Structure 1
Amino acid sequence: MTENLGVVAHAAGDLRVQALPEPEPTADEAVIAIAYGGVCGSDLHYWLHGAAGTSILRAPLLLGHEVIGTVERAAADGSGPAVGTPVAVHPGTPHGVDGVPYPAKSPNLAPAGTYLGSAAHFPHCEGAFARRVALPTRMLRILPANIDPRDAALIEPAAVAWHGVARAGDVAGKRVAVIGAGPIGLLAVAVALHHGAATVVATDIAAEARERALALGAAAVLDARESEEIAALHADVVIESSGTVPGLHAAVDAAGRGGIVVMLGLQRAGDIDFPAAQAITRELDLRGALRFNDEIDEVIAALADGSLNVRGVVTHVLPAADALEAFEIARDSAASGKVLLDFRT
């Protein structure tokens, strides 16, 4: 058996590929041999800053929540799929807090919810960037055989985009603008097109990112600095996926009167500058979007039947042993879309 290599953030600027103990599953956990893991923005933040928003590293953290793999050892209690079954992973677990209500239909809003590879709570919730990990069977989703594994590695971020687009309601026949053409923005383009948007226009600073959006089917792309052109979009729906203050301003600018702005990109913690007067006088509907719920199952079905096109979103695949190089590539949005780690090598 090969060494169980994992990708662990120890502190800001301290990312290590190191040997991990073999997983010891509980009765309702299966051991998963991870095939691919996608590098997410939160992974980059833990590496670069030792924190992702208000989630601060207080101990070494095994990163990774965008993973697919194969069941290597089935759960002892008989739950979950059999050995050899390819699976995707839903990385969230809802947990409530007494006195803090949340909608039952929205477990993603549970106030003490955990997520694989997150330092939001302590002890941290360990991730799945390792050759072998033990995961609860409730997290596992069986992968149809006809989904390309590299496409399957996009299931988790595509579910985030699916949830974000769904927060806008029915986008069929509507003009949609996507602010930011990083991996989540690209997937938002793909999902909006899947849902029947009349046109999708994407913006980004990087020309390479704009080209990727065009290849996915965006009707047009704009340089994010072209403020007049963005303001002339008069979009029915705007998906803000950059998670930046300028991106949020651009989203308000891009929205037509009475339009909907979905804040999909996570803004930094604390107060930020926001064009409230413009949002009020246009009667814009501002909606947050956090992770996802059961949309992962819809994404899997859409990939299986070929109706969701994600080709070109993955731009790089590197061996897990080269994780530091992969993270360096992933931090450069001009150089890369989604970067995958291959844990099979």
Structure 2
Amino acid sequence: MTGPRVPALHVTRAWRMEPVELPWPVPADGEVSVRLLFATVCGSDVPKFTGTWARFTPPLVPGAPIHECVGVVEQSRVPGIAEGEPVLAIPKHDAGLAEVYLASAAQTTRLPGWSEDDLPYATLGQPTAAVLHGLDRLGDVRGARVAIIGLGGIGLIAAILLRGRGVAQLAVIEPNEYRRTLGAFLVNAQGYPAWSTELAGQADVVVEAVGHDTYGDTLPVCLRTVRPGGRVLLLGNPADTSHAVGVETIVRRNLCLVGSISPQWETYLSAGARAVHDDLATFRRLITGHARWRDAERVFREHADPASSRLKVVLTG
């Protein structure tokens, strides 16, 4: 006799999701089970779906790849987190394309003060947490001239937070016209469709926010843009383990490269949610569409198109 099952999606091969049913998730000590309400697609999810990330080739774990998730706690084995309350919770194995999923205590945070209508935007707390961690590692940026390479979700969140930290100027390099326009509207950023000699050696800080298989192209752009003695923050998630880089350029120009990827979630996840809530009017503009989570394959295909005007699409449970 089989127990209750949970509907989910499974990336069985590149560009393809199949509906499946999984065993009902039962949390262990230090875990919660969460009924999915809302999720958003991260740029790092897309190459896992398309099969272009060598470390994550399909078939993936059923329910993967989604990790920006908000839901209601079904069962809790975590002190201080009650059943029935909304949470921002990163699914185990990034397997959030399921009606109910498991999350650890360290990767779950309560959402006090969030209204029901605003909960879809709480998904942005997860990528915001990752950016906050990188900016904290970067240090003081007050009065700095900053250039951002790439205005996807991570790049735009970085622009919003950097403006709030008192930078003097923001320039962005982004080929997608819609994203450049949004950056100009949200944070008064000077937009460039491609690298320009105007930018050479002009930035105190350069933020790489593209990642994946583009580091071979974007790292040289970062090094051409930053001034001697400047800083480069690498926020983009690399798809490859190594890239050629001008070490002599870094050393002779006294550059500082700062890497950042996974923060201490037990600290930063709640901070990310608070940052979004505190500037909700701005962060709302990053959501450009809504769809049912069962239509995730179509949404992922749209996200894979670099010319798309889609930015962050909320998948609803």
The answer to whether TM tops 0.5 is yes
Superposed displacement of residue 295, structure 1: 2.1
TM-score of the aligned structures, taking structure 2 as reference length? 0.87
**Inter-CA distance 47–306: structure 2 relative to 1 (3 Å threshold):** closer
Alignment of 1:1-345 (within 5 A): 4-49=6-51, 52-57=53-58, 60-63=61-64, 64-75=66-77, 79-90=79-90, 116-117=93-94, 127-146=95-114, 148-223=118-193, 225-231=194-200, 234-243=202-211, 244=214, 245-293=216-264, 294-306=267-279, 309-335=282-308, 336-343=310-317
Contact 1:13 1:47 in 2 (8 A): yes
Q: Which runs of 5+ in 1 are unaligned?
A: 92-114, 118-126
Report sequence identity in percent.
28
Superposed displacement of residue 58, structure 1: 6.4
Contact 1:70 1:84 in 2 (8 A): yes
Superposed displacement of residue 65, structure 1: 1.1
Contact 2:124 2:273 in 1 (8 A): no
Q: Which runs of 5+ in 2 are unaligned?
A: none
Q: Distance in 1 between matches of 2:33 and 2:296?
A: 22
Q: Distance in 1 between matches of 2:47 and 2:250?
A: 30
Could you tell me which amino acid in structure 2 is paired with residue 231 of structure 1? A
Superposed displacement of residue 305, structure 1: 3.0
Contact 2:108 2:269 in 1 (8 A): no
Superposed displacement of residue 259, structure 1: 0.4
Alignment partner, residue 106 of structure 1: none
User: 3-state SS of the aligned residue for 2:163?
Assistant: helix
User: 3-state SS of the aligned residue for 2:282?
Assistant: coil
| 1:171-192 per-position Cα deviation (integer Å, ceiling 9, x unaligned) | 1221111110011111111111
Contact 1:13 1:48 in 2 (8 A): yes
TM-score of the aligned structures, taking structure 1 as reference length? 0.80
Superposed displacement of residue 57, structure 1: 4.7
Deviates more, 1:11-20 or 1:160-169: 11-20
Superposed displacement of residue 21, structure 1: 2.9
Superposed displacement of residue 66, structure 1: 0.9
Contact 1:329 1:339 in 2 (8 A): no
| 1:43-82 per-position Cα deviation (integer Å, ceiling 9, x unaligned) | 2122111x6353445664321111111112333xx62411
Contact 1:38 1:339 in 2 (8 A): yes
Q: Distance in 1 between matches of 2:280 and 2:119?
A: 16
How many residue pairs match? The answer is 305
Bigger share in helix: 2
